[in-house]
Structure 1
Amino acid sequence: MLPSSRKPYTNVTLAHRQRWRGRVGMMLVACLSVLAGMTDAIGFMASGDFVSFMSGNTTRLAVAISAGDLGLTGRLVLLIATFVLGNALGVMVSRFSKRHALPLLLCIGALLCGAALWPSTETLPALLAAIIAMGMLNAAVEEVNGLPVGLTYVTGALSRFGRGLGRWLLGERRNGWRVQLIPWAGMFIGAVIGALLEQQMGLRALWVSGALAGLLGLVTLMIPRRWHLGFMPR
């Protein structure tokens, strides 16, 4: 009787923990998406270039090539390559820090604060620092309870939400598709905040992004280590 009486309790406990892990993970995703949206809006309004939305920069690159604009083509190639480098650096920092999020987010915060300190007459170095930071941000959370999430881009999230909606309309009842709106909403809210900040502070609004990255790094210390290991890239 004892083993059978313990089994339902264990299953309920595991399910309860999994639900809480999912909620905490998606709250973290929402906050990090706010950071990404804020930074992207600040960078775009200050320079006209996207900081985290590389799909937009890729389309602009194709248009620049077709127009024969070599200067813009070179600039956009540099921005896209820098973003790729940032993603690689994010994984490396995560591994070197034994997959603790705090060192990663502190590095991101330092890059954003450094960008804010750069003279406003030369926006490219500040822009590159912010792009590296946004690339690195993707190493903070890769999935939550097996659901893939994106922090600095939301096209995939909207696509997964739309496909889930289509299945739901067909009568299928699968879990997980609704939460894909969380990173989209976070990025949208962050972009609104970033646009308002840039109107008041210009590129120095990246100070706020840097401070938020550091604050979120401290918040991750309150997340159980086992949970966070499941969020970050392996």
Structure 2
Amino acid sequence: MLPSSQKPYANVVLARQQQWRGRVGMMLVASLSVLAGMTDAIGFMASGDFVSFMSGNTTRLAVAISEGDLGLTGRLLLLVATFVVGNALGIVVSRMSGRHALPLLLCIAALLCGGALWPFADMLPALLAAIVAMGMLNAAVEEVNGLPVGLTYVTGALSRFGRGLGRWLLGERRNGWRVQLVPWTGMFIGAVIGALLEHRMGLGALLVSGALAAVLGLVSLKIPRRWHLGYMPR
């Protein structure tokens, strides 16, 4: 045990470490959200389908069913199921690699680059590759200092921000609700970038998304191991 005279100093050091862990974690969340926004915008503009926004695809699925459009219904069911598979694969890859982010992000980079280089007119396989990648991306960060975050969907983040705002207006002073805007802002900025890239490169803009995923994987090596273990799903 530490002498009582050293306990205040140890508490200060621990608090600073937690603060820095939170800052680094939110920077990672912002960067990965930019990647998700880029990819979703590129996929949507190139094909008319979302690659990470499954709430949108679910609503479209319901409309397709109501209109009796069997072709579109089948396509959207495939997209939603593929996203679920991607999430499962993300956990598998994460666990098999000892919960290191680099192998996971390199797999995502490979899928996105493969989608960008798909040589045939039918872009469905390229779209599916991007959807699997976005599902896997959710295994990269699940929480930061106990705060839940989403990377490829921001409805939950906006909801948590709104509820926190309501509590703040009532005089409650809880921490953490403001940071929920980080993934939303990252995804919005990424979507703008992705839209601009798609105008110039078409579906080939996924190459940029793939390169960004690889770069973020390399950057993740600089994050202390014990911090990253706290970010990723258990």
Q: Same fold (TM over 0.5)?
A: yes
- Counterpart residue type for residue 11 of structure 1: N
Tell me how far apart the structure 1 counterparts of residues 118 and 43 of structure 2 sit (CA, whole Å).
Answer: 13
| 1:55 corresponding residue in structure 2 | 55
CA deviations over 1:105-148 (Å, ceiling 9, x no partner): 00000000000001261110000000000000000000000000
Q: Percent identity?
A: 86
Matched residue SS, 1:4 = coil
CA distance in structure 1 between the aligned counterparts of 2:92 and 2:183, rounded to whole angstroms: 24
Contact persistence 1:120–1:203 (CA under 8 A): no
Q: Which residue of 2 aligns with 1:176?
A: 176
CA distance in 1, matches of 2:38, 2:59: 22
**Correspondence 1:1-234 to 2 at 5 A:** 3-119=3-119, 121-234=121-234
Opposite residue 84 of structure 2, the aligned amino acid is V
Larger helix fraction of residues: 1
For residues 149-179 of structure 1, give each alpha carbon's deviation from its aligned partner in whole angstroms, at most 9, with x where no partner exists.
Answer: 0000000000000000000000000000000
- State the distance in 1 between where 2:61 and 2:110 align: 29
Number of matched residues?
Answer: 233
Report SS of the residue matched to 1:103.
Answer: helix
Judging changes above 3 Å, is the alpha-carbon distance between structure 1 residues 86 and 214 closer, same or farther for their aligned structure 2 residues? Answer: same
SS in 2 for 1:222: coil
The residue type paired with residue 114 of structure 1 is G
Equivalent position amino acid for 1:165 in 2:
L
5+ residue gaps, structure 1:
none
- Find the aligned partners of 1:119 and 1:187 in 2 and give their Cα distance: 28
**Any unmatched runs of 5+ in structure 2?**
none
Dislocated runs of 4+, deviation >6 Å = none
Q: 2-side partners of 1:44 and 1:95: how far apart?
A: 31
Contact 1:51 1:127 survives alignment (8 Å): yes
Counterpart residue type for residue 198 of structure 1: E
Give me the CA root mean square deviation. Answer: 0.7
